[in-house]
Amino acid sequence: MNCDEAFDLITHPTDHNCEELQWHLQLCPRCLQMKETLAPALDTFQQVLDDATAADELADYHAEFHPSAEQVAASLFPKTGKPFLSAETVRMAEQAAGRLRAESVTNQLAKQSLKRKPHQKRLVHAALILLAGFVMGWGISLDRSENNHFSSEVSSLQSQQPCLWIAQRENRAYQPAKTEREKRAASSVVLSCVACHLRSTAE
């Protein structure tokens, strides 16, 4: 029980002494102080209500032994004044009904929207998670494609013919004896190097 509910019970016409409230008052000094502050007014209300209830019970007890249709009628509506019913009063009642109906509809809609809200939140969360997943996936796929592009470039470079100079040197290491064909190859290598290096210097 919270303090708000405790206030409901403190000011309750009949349940103001319930055990639940007593437990709360033992644990909550603020509510206890509130009850003590309000005690003069609350006690008077309770006393008046108890008197009225006792009077009603006494009347019921007598009515059981002395039932009389006239008495019942008199106790319901003693002939004290001139009860009347005007069109204005009826209109007032109809307006009250209209207002209460509108408020009950509004309250129902509010309750329904409250019920819907958690469902909507869940949907939004799921959508966000999906979106985040999609973005992450897209990012990863982009990253992979870039890597693939780089690796393909590397592999394409690797797949290209190796440098003729290095290849020549390696061949020389394995085959020390020079042939005429090799000499021509060497001159072609030099020519290719010169051509290549001259072009790069010019650039």
Partner 1 sequence: MIDDATMMKRICAGEYLLFDELVLRYRDRLLKFAWSKYGNLSAAEDLVQEAFLSAFAARESYNPAFAFSTWLWTIFLNLCRRHYKREFRQPREMVRSSFAAAEAAVIPEPSSPETPLQVALKTEQFQLLALYLSELPEVQADALRLRFFGGMKFTEIALTMDCSLSAAKIRVKNGLLQLAHRFSEGTTSEGDVS
Query: Between 19 and 60, whose beta carbon lies closer to partner 1?
Result: 60
Name which of 163, 202, 203, 39 is nearest 16 in CA terms. 39
- Shortest reach from residue 55's CB to partner 1, in Å: 4
- Shortest reach from residue 28's CB to partner 1, in Å: 16
Query: Between 55 and 140, whose beta carbon lies closer to partner 1?
Result: 55
Q: What is the DSSP letter of 161?
A: P
Helices (H), 66-86: 69-76
Our measurement of the distance from residue 58's CA atom to the centroid of its chain's CA atoms, rounded to an integer in Å, reads 57
- Shortest reach from residue 113's CB to partner 1, in Å: 17
Which residue type does 176 have? P
Query: Between 50 and 170, whose beta carbon lies closer to partner 1?
Result: 50
Gap between the Cα atoms of 38 and 28, Å rounded: 16
Gap between the Cα atoms of 31 and 176, Å rounded: 107
Gap between the Cα atoms of 109 and 112, Å rounded: 5
- Shortest reach from residue 27's CB to partner 1, in Å: 21
Footprint on this chain of partner 1 (rule: CB under 8 A): 4, 7-8, 11, 13-14, 37-42, 44-45, 47-49, 51-52, 54-56, 58-59, 74-85, 89-90, 92-94, 96-101, 103-105, 108
Query: Between 15 and 143, whose beta carbon lies closer to partner 1?
Result: 15
Gap between the Cα atoms of 97 and 104, Å rounded: 10
Query: Between 49 and 194, whose beta carbon lies closer to partner 1?
Result: 49
- Shortest reach from residue 107's CB to partner 1, in Å: 9
Q: What is the 3-state secondary structure (H, E, C) of 113-128?
A: HHHHHHHHHHHHHHHH
